[in-house]
Every structure is written in C-alpha cells, then in structure tokens.
Structure 1
Amino acid sequence: MPSEVDDREVSPSPGRSRSGSPAGPDTLTLRALVSTKDAGVIIGKGGKNVADLRDQTGVKAGVSKVVPGVHDRVLTISGSVDRVAKAYGLIVAQLVASNPTSPISASSSTHTSLRLLISHNLMGTIIGRGGTRIKAIQDNSGARMVASKDMLPQSTERVVEVHGSVEAIERAVDDIGKSLLEDWERGLGTVLFHPGAGDERSGSSRRYSENRGSYGGSRQSNGRPGSPGSPSRQAPSSPQPTNLRTQNISIPSDMVGCIIGRGGSKITEIRRLSGSKISIAKAPHDETGERMFTIVGTPEANEKALFLLYNQLESEKERRVGREQQQDIE
C-alpha cells in the first residue's frame, strides 16, 4: 500500500498562496481533486513517485490524507507557473500509463481529464468577459474546459475540469496559471475545500487568509454548541433538523463590526438567508485577539452562512483598501 504524503508542507498559510492563487507575482499554488486510487499512483511506493516529481520539476507537492469513506483526495502543487504545469503534465501522463484496462494505448494522444480546484472569486479571471479568456485557453491548448456552477461543500472553491491529451492539459494548466497570476489578489481569503467536509465522519479544518493576516481557523464538529470557547450569546431558538453541524470560525476583532452591522442588521440578514444560527463570543478567545463565531445548522445552511460571512469580509477588505488608496491620492 502506498505511503501517505501529508499536504501540509504545501498547505497555504497567512502570507502564502491560497487555492488557485499565488503567494506573490511568481509563485502559484494549484490544487486538484484526485481519486484515492490515483493518489496512490501519484505518491508511489514509499512516496517515491512524488519525491521524483519534486526532483524533476522543483515544485512542492503533497496529497491530503485519506478520510474514511471518502473517495477523493486533494493534490497540491506549488511553484512557478511553468513548473506547476510541467508537474501536472507528468502526473497526468503517469496516471494514463498506470491504467492497464484502458482500451487506448497510453500515448501522448490519449484523452483524459484533470479536476482543478479554483477559487470562486477567480473564476471570472479564467472565463473572461463574455467567455473570451476561456475560449482563448481552449484554442491555444487544444484542451476543453468545463467549470462547475456551484461551490464545493463548506468552501468557496469550484471545480474546473480540463479534458484533452496530456500535452493539451499541460498547456491549459500553464495558461490557467498565467491568468491566475494576473489577478492573484482576488483569490485571497479562499475557503479551501476538504473532501468529506460535509460528512459527519469528517473533522476537517480550513482557514480564511489574506496577506495581512488571517480571518482565522475554523473547526467543525458534530456536537452541540457549548464546548470550551463557545460564544455565550445564542441565536433565537427554532425547530431543529436532526442533521445539525456545529462549526467555529475565528475572526479578527477589528472585522467583527462589519459582520454584525449597525444594530445587528447584517448578521441578522446572514442568519435569515442561511437558516443557520450564528452566535458571537463577547471577548477574544486567545492571545491573537480574534473572536469566535459559532455556526449551527444543516451542512447546506452552514455552507451558505460561510459564503455570506466570507463575502462580507471580502467587501469590507475591498472598502478599506479603496479608502487607503483614496487617502494616498489626497
């Protein structure tokens, strides 16, 4: 059985890149969904294949750990655009060659696919106005791309499927990476997808991040609110479904006001639109000065609540950046 390779060494952290966005003007972190079987091929016996990939391309690469009952894992590759593209090309070729049941010979002309994870906020960058950018990428690479309409559970990432030959997919990844580099700041704050995040067997975590710091980590559990660090103020009670989930996210204290709104208007609207109960700790929960938000609801409701909270934070961040730029002009 192949050795697991933890993806923590390439996992984004504050000041580094998020999914589908680089840490700076020259570095890209690009994630993809792979089946558990394909992950085994990518890793290789004792981690040999992924180690060889790093040596050949100079990228950082890792595969997320297995989640029981979940059939997908996340492959994360970080490096310059050309190296990331080359690494994905080598991986796709390796997966094609490892499939002995395929009726088509494992040649460069064999058509296959790759499922990239792209931040919802960066989809417009890839698609372009009127679809011009995605058409150009497809024409240049010879690959075909299909973007999912919905974000993945408990995240703000979407899947972009890239179909074609090994060479076409590699060229498409290169073009996609260059597009993402042009607009990388839009990917800041992406809520990363973790396979099994909406499953009761999963205890996955994710982190909102931007260059100046972090929107904090989130912890998901199946218990009821009231664990250590839980907020003291609860949303009004209502009939509860049986599949409730509890998720905690920590938010910098200086951003809490923009989420609550004047007289609690914004947080009330988020509660109403999502259907989740959202309560806020009265005081910071640790030395970071961050405040804990507890979200309780169905997986679907919590996903919407996270999305709404995230959008509110992004809007506030853009407002502050605009205000600073205006002050600089004056």
Structure 2
Amino acid sequence: MENSKVQSEGGLNVTLTIRLLMHGKVRQTLDKGETVKKMREESGARINISEGNCPERIVTITGPTDTIFKAFAMIAYKFEEDIINSMSNSPATSKPPVTLRLVVPASQCGSLIGKGGSKIKEMRESTGAQVQVAGDMLPNSTERAVTISGTPEAIIQCVKQICVVMLESPPKGATIPYRPKPASTPVIFSGGQAYTIQGQYAIPHPDQLTKLHQLAMQQTPFTPLGQTTPAFPGLDASPPASTHELTIPNDLIGCIIGRQGTKINEIRQMSGAQIKIANAMEGSSERQITITGTPANISLAQYLINARLTSEVTGMGTL
C-alpha cells in the first residue's frame, strides 16, 4: 500500500484537489487578497475562492500533494492566529481548536470511515485531531462535509492521511459538486429590468426573468424608473395585481410579525404589498401568508420576509 503511494507521488507527481467549505467571519480571513496571494506563492498550490453573494464559500486547493500540505498548514496557522487575536478581547481562557470543513465526494467517505469506523478511529488516535464525517450529503450535491478540528499540527497530519485515502480510493461515478446557495436574493423588477439585492445594492440581474418581465411590461404603458404614474382610473400603467402564497413554520412567524405587528407593518409599507397572515390552523405547524400586489411589490415583500427569516435563523445559536 505504502509503496504504490510513494511511486504515484514520485513518479506521476499526483495532482489532487481538496475543497474546503468556509463561512461567516472565517472566510474574511482569506478574502483579503494579499493573504491568498501570499499562500499561493509560498505553497505553490492553486488556491481559488468561489465568488458570489453566499454565506458560504468553497476554497479549492489544487496541486501536487506537498503543495497542498503547505497550503493547509498556512491556512490552519492563519486561523489559529485569528483565534488568538479574537481571544485577546474575550475573557475565555481555554483556546478553542482550529476547525476546517472539507467537502469530499460521498463515494470516498466510506474509505475515510473504514470498516466499522476503523479508519476514522485510527486517524483520530494517530493525529489527535477530531474528525467527523457528516451523515447527510450537502444540499443538491453528492458530497459530504468532513469536519476536522484540533491544533494546526494535528490538522495537517490529519489532512495528509485523508489525502492518502483519497488517492488510493478515487471517487466512484460522477460527483455533483456542492455549490453554496446565495443568501436569499430574490429578483426585484423595476422599469423592465430585474435586480437582485446584494448587501445594500440592487444589482442588475440579466436573465430569463428580465426578458419575461420586459414582455409583460410591453402589454402595459411603460414608466421609466423614478417617475410615478398618477393613479387615474382607466390609465392602468402599473402591472395588474397578482397574489403569491407562502407557508411559514409557526415558530418563526413571530419574527415576521414583530412586537404588536411592527415588523409586518414595516414590510407592508416598504414593499407596498398587501400581506395577510392566516390564523393558526389546528393541527398544523405552518401558517399561510398571502401577498397581493404588483410583481415588484410581491418580490420586495418576499425579499423582506426572507431577510427577517434568515437573520432569525442564523442568529439562533448556529455557528
């Protein structure tokens, strides 16, 4: 076993790709262009960070195995440095471990776990790192998250062992890679152009929806953005009102309604849509929300409701 590995590394200089999943504050560490540039130069590995307005990013590290180990070492030490810096402002005394999440094709996870968990147990014992393979695949993919935590040294040893397993047991069949979903960015229509909200900005969103919307707009008189149409009866310049229905879990409805209805009123005012929340049905864990208005009103109301849900869910003791 050991021989074939040495030959493959020496003879073919095997190039491997390892994917890492990062989120939240963690990825800001690497987002600073200089940090990644320095890591690329010093390790010799290709390091790419996925683009997009997503709460998660995929960091792809490609190169001969030795360059991958160097890159991982740099990332692990960089994260440790960040932990130490953040601790200088906190009363905590014990240093939390560095945690990295790899994204591995599910077809290779069996080899990582080993018969009856023997391989993963051996990795934990020989490196001192905690290793966990997620039971479920990541959404819309055939990949699983493998979480490694421990000291930078333990993580580097663990990554080396994982690379050996991945080289010896290539993925079977086609892998559908995990692609992080954007933070809910609905499309908002204005003046025949579709926009997605990114942060505080509306970004033009050229896609099929725009074309469909432009077709819809041709049926009605067209108003340039920024001009308001006087509401004369008979002068139907705005697209006809339509209705959209959503169901929201009961336990999250409170964050949308707000104290004494403050939040829902705010959403009504900002979106210009009519929003009705049905009473709780006996035996149902969900509530029906009906949004009525123009497509633009409805899109904006949906966006604002999603934004409330996202901040509520991400604020609830998740990572």
TM-score where L is the length of structure 1: 0.49
**Equivalent in the alignment of 2:131:** 145
Matched AA of 1:88: F
Letter paired with 2:158: A
* Equivalent in the alignment of 1:184: 170
Give the percent of matched residue pairs that are identical in Structure 1 and Structure 2. 28
Match of 1:215 in 2: none
Residue of structure 2 equivalent to 1:53: 39
Match for residue 75 of structure 1?
A: 59
What secondary structure does 2:158 align onto? Answer: helix
Query: Is residue 95 of structure 1 aligned with residue 83 of structure 2?
Result: no
Letter of the 1:35 counterpart:
H
* Cα distance in structure 1, aligned partners of 2:72 and 2:26: 13
**1: CA distance between counterparts of 2:158 and 2:208?**
40
What residue in structure 1 maps to residue 28 of structure 2? 40
**Other-structure match for 1:254:** none
Structure 2 vs 1, CA of residues 116 and 59 (structure 1 numbering), >3 Å: closer, same or farther? Answer: same
What's the RMSD between the two structures over aligned residues?
A: 3.0
Contact 2:13–2:64 (8 Å) recurs in 1: no
In the alignment, the residues of structure 2 paired with residue 149 and residue 119 of structure 1 have an alpha-carbon distance, to the nearest angstrom, of 13
Q: Tell me the distance in 1 between the aligned counterparts of 2:134 and 2:71.
A: 24
- Displacement of 1:101: 2.0
Asked if the contact 2:131/2:148 (under 8 Å) is kept, the reply is yes
Q: Is 2:211 aligned against 1:193? A: no
Letter of the 1:96 counterpart:
E
Secondary structure of residue in 2 paired with 1:184: coil
Corresponding letter in the other structure for 1:80: P
The 1:137–1:201 alpha-carbon spacing in structure 2 relative to 1, beyond 3 Å, is farther
- 1:304-323 superposed Cα distances (whole Å, 9 cap, x missing partner): xxxxxxxxxxxxxxxxxxxx
Work out whether residues 81 and 178 of structure 1, in 8 Å CA contact, stay in contact via their aligned partners in 2: no
Distance 1:121 1:129, change over 3 A: same
Match of residue 171, structure 1, among 141, 157, 173: 157
**d(CA) in 1 for partners of 2:118, 2:86:** 38
Partner-residue secondary structure (3-state), 2:178: coil
Is 1:118 the counterpart of 2:83? The answer is no
Q: Alignment partner of 1:194: what SS? A: coil
* Shift of residue 41, structure 1, vs aligned partner: 1.6
Q: Which amino acid aligns with 2:178?
A: F
Deviations 1:36-81 (A, max 9, x none): 432232132xx211111111111000111132xx321111101122
Mark the runs of 5 or more structure 2 residues left unpaired by the alignment. 1-11, 188-206, 213-244, 248-319
CA contact (8 A) 1:42 1:50 kept: yes
Seen in structure 2, the aligned counterparts of structure 1 residues 198 and 101 have a Cα distance that, compared at 3 Å, is closer
Quote the Cα distance in structure 1 between the aligned partners of 2:66 and 2:121. 21
Q: Deviations over 1:131-179 (max 9, x none)?
A: 1111121122110111111111111111111010000001101100110
Number of positions where the alignment pairs a residue of Structure 1 with one of Structure 2: 178
Unaligned runs of 5+ in 1: 1-23, 203-220, 227-240, 244-330
**Map 1:250-269 → 2, pairs under 5 A:** none
Residues 1:66 and 2:52 are matched in the alignment: yes
Larger radius of gyration: 2
- In structure 2, which of residues 13, 19, 24 is the aligned counterpart of residue 31 of structure 1? 19
Given the superposition, is the C-alpha separation of residues 143 and 65 from structure 1 closer, same or farther in structure 2, using an over 3 Å criterion?
A: same
Deviation for aligned residue 1:185: 4.1
Cross-structure match for 1:246: none
| C-alpha separation in 1, matches of 2:107 and 2:99 | 23
Shift of 1:98: 2.3
Residues 156 and 71 (structure 1), Cα distance of their counterparts in 2 relative to 1, 3 Å cut? same
| Structure 2 length-normalised TM | 0.50
